[in-house]
């Protein structure tokens, strides 16, 4: 893989809101403010933006995080740069403690000897401390209230790499929230039947993220706003969103964008191993899923994750929410998730001392190249740096 020393090209400075024209990259893959003597000049139609971050992804290209194997994690890291992803959270499913811990250990071992590709920036544990009322594609047979003993075992196996956890606040969630915050884990409400009043209590205590908003959660009613109502109303809650037009309708997406601040929306893929693959039968955390007409479902028809690409999500939002600027859209997959995960000191924007995780796109969000720590890990066919 080719190492890049710098760019003489248009890039967005999020702090100033202005476009800059050059920066260099250190030997160890960090951004430097001074220009590079060997900088690459890009065509004028291309822009260098921060690398995309997917904080909620189960699999792609035939590989699943719950496979708990270096082979699958390698496959994921090599596949995701084609859509501009430079970092992601390997996301688990509700399974037995043994299966979850095996997946955690596989991720931690992989991080110590990574292969070239998108970085695994940590783990997102989606369950098993969820609500059976909103199980979605999660296995209701293993869903249970927050269990400090099991969580301690997850923490021990993860060696500090759990970045986010989805849980149902009404299921012993007060204890769970305290444990998550104490250990620096971003708590996210999801697969939950929590009432609005109880959720407000959680928000006051530090519960500031909503997993795949609208999906698998208590919906809005005029006498009981539910989780959805409080997410729309409360400026302290970050909202994950699957912007494929299938999980959430374009009108519901427009409502979310009308209600939320620009810095509080995070685009995710929630993709499964079926992403990039033809129609057929696959698995999600070991459960059979069926890909047909662009939708992954369980046998009973329940939507099971997605096959969404983050570059496609950006194109969709550009179409459905035309008031958002190019810069605002880019933040939905870069700075916003970085801040939500407390990773913004190292990624999420192009700034001195941050990792040189970069995506080269045009203004239609087509990905031409992806760079991780200054190393080219993907180039579009026919395009060469």
Active site residue 67: no
- Cα–Cα distance measured from residue 234 to residue 259, given in angstroms and rounded to the nearest whole number: 9
C-alpha–C-alpha distance, residues 333 and 349, integer Å: 10
Residue 280, token pair as written in the block: 């057929």
Positive/negative CA dihedral, 104, 107, 109, 112: negative
Q: 290: part of which helix (H) or strand (E)?
A: strand 287-292
Closest C-alpha among 197, 97, 214, 218 to residue 155: 97
Please report the DSSP string for 97-110 in residue order: HHHHHHHHHHHHHH
Cα Dmax for the chain: 64
Q: Which of 67, 139, 270, 311 is catalytic?
A: 270
Beta strands (DSSP E) in 63-197 are 63-64, 85-92, 119-126, 162-167, 186-189
**184: closest CA among 202, 210, 158, 204?**
158
Q: Which residues have a catalytic role annotated?
A: 270
């Amino acid at each position: 893989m080719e190492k890049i020393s710098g760019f003489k090209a248009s890039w967005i400075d999020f702090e100033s809101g202005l476009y800059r024209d050059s920066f260099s990259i250190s030997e160890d893959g960090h951004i430097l403010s001074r220009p590079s003597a060997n900088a690459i000049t890009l065509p004028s139609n291309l822009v260098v933006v921060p690398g995309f971050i997917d904080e909620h992804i189960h699999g792609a290209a035939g590989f699943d995080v719950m496979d708990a194997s270096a082979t699958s994690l390698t496959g994921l890291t090599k596949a995701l740069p084609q859509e501009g992803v430079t970092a992601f959270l390997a996301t688990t499913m509700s399974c037995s403690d043994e299966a979850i811990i095996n997946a955690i250990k596989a991720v931690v071992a992989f991080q110590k000897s990574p292969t070239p590709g998108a970085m695994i920036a940590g783990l997102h544990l989606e369950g098993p401390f969820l609500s059976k009322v909103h199980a979605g594609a999660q296995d209701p047979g293993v869903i249970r209230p927050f269990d400090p003993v099991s969580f301690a075992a997850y923490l021990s196996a993860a060696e500090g790499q759990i970045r986010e956890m989805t849980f149902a606040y009404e299921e012993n969630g007060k204890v769970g929230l305290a444990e998550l915050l104490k250990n620096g884990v971003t708590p996210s409400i999801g697969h939950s039947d929590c009432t609005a009043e109880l959720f407000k209590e959680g928000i006051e205590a530090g519960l500031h993220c909503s997993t795949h908003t609208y999906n698998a959660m208590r919906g809005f009613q005029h006498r009981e706003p539910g989780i959805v109502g409080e997410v729309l109303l409360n400026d302290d809650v970050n909202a994950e969103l699957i912007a494929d037009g299938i999980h959430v309708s374009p009108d519901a997406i427009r409502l979310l964008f009308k209600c939320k601040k620009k810095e509080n929306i995070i685009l995710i893929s929630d993709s499964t191993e079926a992403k990039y693959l033809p129609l057929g039968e696959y698995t999600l955390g070991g459960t059979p899923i069926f890909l047909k007409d662009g939708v992954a479902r369980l046998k009973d028809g329940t939507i099971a994750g997605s096959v969404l690409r983050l570059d496609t999500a950006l194109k969709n939002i550009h179409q459905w929410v035309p008031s958002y600027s190019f810069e605002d859209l880019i933040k939905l997959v870069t700075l916003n998730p970085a801040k939500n995960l407390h990773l913004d000191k190292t990624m999420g924007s192009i700034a001195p001392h941050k990792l040189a995780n970069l995506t080269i796109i045009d203004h239609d969000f087509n990905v031409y190249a992806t760079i991780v720590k200054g190393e080219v890990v993907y180039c579009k066919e026919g395009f060469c740096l």
